[in-house]
Amino acid sequence: TTTTTTTTVEWEGTWVGVDNEDATKVEAPKRGAFDELVSSDMHFQVSGTAHEQEDGSILVSVTQGSGWDLKDDTKKHSDIKHDLYLKSLKWTGAVGGDQTPNLIFSEGENGEFGKFIGVGWMRPGNRMTVARRYLADKDERTLDTVKKIVWEEVCGDNDKTRIPPWQCTVMNTEWNSKKRSREE
């Protein structure tokens, strides 16, 4: 794939840790009506580049910047790789309308915690909510698998979002493609 345009990107905000093996039970993070960020003591500031792809999609790589806070730890943590795949760098659509252009997929690796996949969406004001699931060494999830299942479970046949993307079964801790194949 040949890239056509490169843009510098900064992404910063707060993040909320969720320890729940069942992704279908994870609610969207809450923020007050007048709050810019979700209420959390954990902040992040990452930067990198966005590359427009030939198909019009955007690949955003964010591995620079001060990094991520963790509970009770004074040092910042960084990702070796963190690629986000978006349709646009700006929120498109109306609340309650077709949100599929605002879906975000990601993959990456953190030197301390290993590889991860992520899903989320962009909201008004270009706010991104992305859920990260760290993968065990022998985990068989790939970005293509995640995209396929998220599209099926979030959008179904009508291209309207039915559930937040992080509530898809592929984001469960114990996801198994062989079990899923038997159920289909």
Q: Are 80 and 110 in contact (CB under 8 A)?
A: yes
Bridge-partner residues for 73, per DSSP? 70
Q: Are 129 and 123 in contact (CB under 8 A)?
A: yes
Q: pLDDT tens digits for 133-179?
A: 999 988 989 999 999 998 888 877 665 667 888 888 899 888 765 55
pLDDT at 4: 61
Q: Residue 146: what are its φ and ψ, rounded to 5°? A: -60, -45
pLDDT band at 91 (very low <50, low <70, confident <90, very high): confident
- Please check the confidence at residue 94 and state whether its pLDDT lies above 80: no
pLDDT at 45: 93
pLDDT at 5: 73
Q: pLDDT tens digits for 77-90?
A: 899 999 999 988 88
Q: pLDDT tens digits for 45-68?
A: 999 999 988 888 899 999 999 999
- Please check the confidence at residue 180 and state whether its pLDDT lies above 70: no
**Among candidates 83, 86, 77, which has minimal Cα distance to 104?**
86
pLDDT at 75: 84
pLDDT at 102: 85
What average pLDDT does the structure give for the chain?
Answer: 82
Q: Are 154 and 103 in contact (CB under 8 A)?
A: yes
